[in-house]
C-alpha cells in the first residue's frame, strides 16, 4: 500500500516542485536582487515610489475588477438562462461558449479593431448615420470591454453546472412549507450559489490580471498594466530589468494569494456545515 502511494504521489510532488514551487522561489529570490546580483530592496522601493508603476498597478486592478464584475453579472444571467433551454440547444451553446472562452489574445484584439477601430465597422456606421461616437477601443474603457469578451463565456462555463444542480423540487418543497420567494432565495439559493460566485470571481479576476496578449495587441504601451510592464522589463523595451520584473510578478502572486485566502475564509462556513 505504501509503495502504491509513493508511485502515485511522487510524480505529482515532483511536478509541483519543478513547475510551481521552484520557479516561485527563484522569482521571489531574484526580486530581492539588483541587476548586478546584489541583495537589495530597491525593486520594491521603486514600486512604492515610482508614479508610473503606481499607474500600472492601478490600471491592472481597475480593469480586472470592473471586467470581472461585469462578466460575473452577465455570466449569472447567461448560466441561469442556459438551464432553461432544451438539451440540444444547450449543448450547442455550451460548445460555442467553450470556444469563445479561448478566443483571446491577438485574434480577439484584431477582431475588436475591425469592429471598433478608427477605420472599423462601428465608426463607418456612426459616420453614415451622423451619430456622435466617443468610444475609443484603444483606451482603458476599450481594454476593459475587450476582457469581457472572453471572461463572460468563461464565467458561464463555470456557473452553468452550479445552476444546473439547483432542483425545482426545492422550490416546491419550500412553497409547501409556507416559504415565500424571498425566503427561498435567501435561505436556499444564495447559501448554495454564493460560495461558487466568489470562487468564479477570483478566477475571472486572476485571468484578467494575467492577460498580456490582448492588452499588448490592442493598446501596446499606451495603457500600462502589470503584464505589459513585466513584458517591457524582460524584453528591454524600457530598460531590461529582470529583478524588477520578478518583483512585479511577486506582487501579482501576493494579490492572488490574498484573494484566494479571503475567498476560502468567506466560503469556509459552507465547508464546515458539510463536514458536520
What pLDDT was estimated at residue 12? 80
Place of cell 459616420: 127
Compute the Cα dihedral for 141, 143, 145, 147 and give only its sign.
negative
What pLDDT was estimated at residue 239? 66
pLDDT digits (tens, 9 = 90+) for 51-84: 999 999 999 999 999 999 999 999 999 999 998 8
What pLDDT was estimated at residue 269? 59
What pLDDT was estimated at residue 273? 41
Q: What is the pTM of this model?
A: 0.84
What pLDDT was estimated at residue 1? 63
Length, in residues, of the chain: 276
pLDDT digits (tens, 9 = 90+) for 148-182: 998 999 999 999 999 988 888 888 888 887 877 88
Distance CA 196, CA 63 (A): 22
In 3D space, the residue among 69, 42, 56, 15 whose CA is nearest the CA of residue 197 turns out to be: 69
Per DSSP, the three-state class of 42 is: helix
What pLDDT was estimated at residue 276? 38
What pLDDT was estimated at residue 32? 93
Question: Does CATH number 1.10.3720.10 belong to domain 50-271?
Answer: yes
Delimit the domains of the chain by residue range.
Answer: 50-271
What pLDDT was estimated at residue 121? 87
Q: Is 229 exposed, middle or buried (0-12, 13-18, 19+ CB in 10 A)?
A: buried
Question: For the chain, which ranges sit under pLDDT 50?
Answer: 270-271, 273-276
What pLDDT was estimated at residue 210? 87
Amino acid at each position: 500500500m505504501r509503495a502504491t502511494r509513493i508511485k502515485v504521489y511522487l510524480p505529482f510532488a515532483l511536478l509541483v516542485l519543478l513547475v510551481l514551487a521552484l520557479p516561485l522561489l527563484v522569482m521571489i529570490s531574484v526580486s530581492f536582487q539588483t541587476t548586478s546580483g546584489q541583495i537589495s530592496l530597491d525593486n520594491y522601493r521603486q514600486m512604492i515610489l515610482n508614479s508610473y508603476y503606481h499607474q500600472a498597478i492601478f490600471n491592472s486592478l481597475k480593469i480586472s475588477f470592473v471586467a470581472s464584475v461585469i462578466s460575473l453579472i452577465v455570466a449569472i444571467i447567461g448560466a441561469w438562462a442556459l438551464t432553461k433551454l432544451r438539451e440540444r440547444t444547450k449543448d450547442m451553446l455550451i460548445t460555442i461558449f467553450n470556444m469563445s472562452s479561448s478566443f483571446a489574445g491577438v485574434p480577439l484584439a484584431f477582431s475588436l479593431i475591425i469592429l471598433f477601430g478608427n477605420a472599423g465597422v462601428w465608426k463607418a456606421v456612426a459616420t453614415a448615420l451622423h451619430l456622435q461616437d466617443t468610444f475609443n477601443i484603444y483606451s482603458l474603457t476599450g481594454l476593459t470591454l475587450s476582457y469581457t469578451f472572453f471572461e463572460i463565456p468563461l464565467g458561464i462555463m463555470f456557473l452553468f453546472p452550479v445552476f444546473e444542480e439547483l432542483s425545482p423540487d426545492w422550490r416546491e418543497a419550500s412553497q409547501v412549507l409556507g416559504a415565500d420567494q424571498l425566503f427561498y432565495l435567501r435561505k436556499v439559493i444564495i447559501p448554495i450559489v454564493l460560495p461558487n460566485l466568489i470562487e468564479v470571481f477570483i478566477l475571472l479576476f486572476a485571468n484578467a490580471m494575467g492577460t498580456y496578449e490582448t492588452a499588448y495587441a490592442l493598446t501596446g504601451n499606451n495603457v500600462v498594466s502589470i503584464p505589459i510592464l513585466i513584458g517591457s522589463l524582460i524584453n528591454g523595451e524600457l530598460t531590461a530589468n529582470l529583478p524588477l520584473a520578478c518583483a512585479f510578478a511577486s506582487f501579482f502572486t501576493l494579490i492572488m494569494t490574498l484573494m484566494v485566502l479571503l475567498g476560502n475564509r468567506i466560503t469556509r462556513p459552507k465547508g464546515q456545515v458539510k463536514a458536520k
